[in-house]
Amino acid sequence: MSDLSFNLDILVAHRGLQASYPENTALALNKAIAKGAQYIELDIQFSADCQPVIYHDPDLQRVSHGSGKVWDYSLQQLVKMPAYEPDRLGKRFISETIAPLQALVPILQSNPKVTAFVELKEESIAHCGRERMLSEVIQCLSLVKKQVVLISYDYLLVQSARERLWGPVGLVLKEWQDLHSDIVKNIASDYIFVDHEKIPDDFRHPKRDATCLVAYEVDSIEKGKQLLDKGITMLETFELERLS
């Protein structure tokens, strides 16, 4: 790590190489890995038939310029839709389509040293239910289980993944004070993700604590250094190229 960059082993590519490519697409994930990313993050929503797709928003407007919610359409319909972020990137990537979660499997198999943080979005719970969501994801990613960390804002989902002996899991904190709640303590997750703006100025991560704290939305070297000085372990960023 130099004064002007960070080692790639502490950076998480948020939604792939999002700064240059449409987020959460197979293209963005592959481009992040090509740039040396050892850790990638992606989001999962669920189709009408409760199949996982790599997508962040519950609705289709921003990323696909479509109407309705993700769960209004079947998997077969979704994978034919574009995922090109037109407001941000114009029509340059209009041929890129929504990827099923299954698309992650060959990406990881081709890159055995890469770890993927797979976030199960809580918006899909009302449609599919936690257990169905988790079952579909576990079945889909069984071949690359050792390379996948399941994460979520929904603490009960993470608790269930832990109980199913998935392997490494991670919580995304809703509020900073949740760090001290009984459910968070009982899950004892391997990773805890938190918006860097929610971290108190006087916080210092105890060196004896084995939990890996990951601060997200980090977009500058200066902010990253401040967080590392607090004992934060990893930095999630849309700016992988600029920070590495």
For the stretch 16-28, pLDDT in tens is 999 999 999 999 9
Does the 8-237 domain belong in CATH 3.60.110.10?
Answer: no
Q: Regarding predicted confidence, which is higher, 46 or 1?
A: 46
Residue 40 pLDDT > 70 = yes
Strands 191-195 and 115-120: unpaired
Report yes or no: 233 and 207 within 8 Å, Cβ to Cβ: no
Ramachandran category for residue 74: left, alpha or beta (phi over 0 → left; psi -120 to 50 → alpha): beta
Tokens of 179: 């760090």
pLDDT digits (tens, 9 = 90+) for 57-74: 999 999 999 999 999 999
pLDDT of residue 209: 77
Predicted pLDDT of residue 3: 72
User: 195-201: which pairs have CB atoms within 8 A and are 24 or more residues apart?
Assistant: 196/223, 196/227, 196/232, 198/173, 199/227, 199/230, 199/232, 200/176
CA atoms lying within 13 Å on the CB side of residue 11: 28
181, 188 in Cβ contact below 8 A?
no
Closest CA to 69 of 78, 79, 60, 77: 60
Q: In a 10 Å sphere around its CB, with 0-12 CB exposed, 13-18 middle and 19+ buried, how is residue 80 labelled?
A: exposed
Q: pLDDT value at position 206?
A: 85
Percent of the chain surpassing pLDDT 90: 95
Q: Residue ranges of the domains in the chain?
A: 8-237
Contacts of residue 227, defined as CB under 8 A and 6 or more positions apart, other chains included, come to 196, 199, 215, 218, 235
Q: Are 74 and 49 in contact (CB under 8 A)?
A: yes
Q: What is the pLDDT of residue 1?
A: 60
* 92-138: pLDDT as tens digits: 999 999 999 999 999 999 999 999 999 999 999 999 999 999 999 99
Partners of residue 12 on adjacent β-strands = 236
- 3-state SS, residue 44: strand
Q: What is the mean pLDDT of the chain?
A: 96
pLDDT grade, residue 2 (50/70/90)?
Answer: low
CA-based nearest residue to 152, from 176, 170, 177, 125: 170
d(CA 134, CA 112): 23
Rounded to two decimals, what is the model's pTM? 0.97
159 is written with which tokens? Answer: 């608790």
Instruction: Please state, in angstroms and rounded to a whole number, the distance separating the CA atoms of residues 109 and 232.
Output: 29
pLDDT at 41 over 80: yes
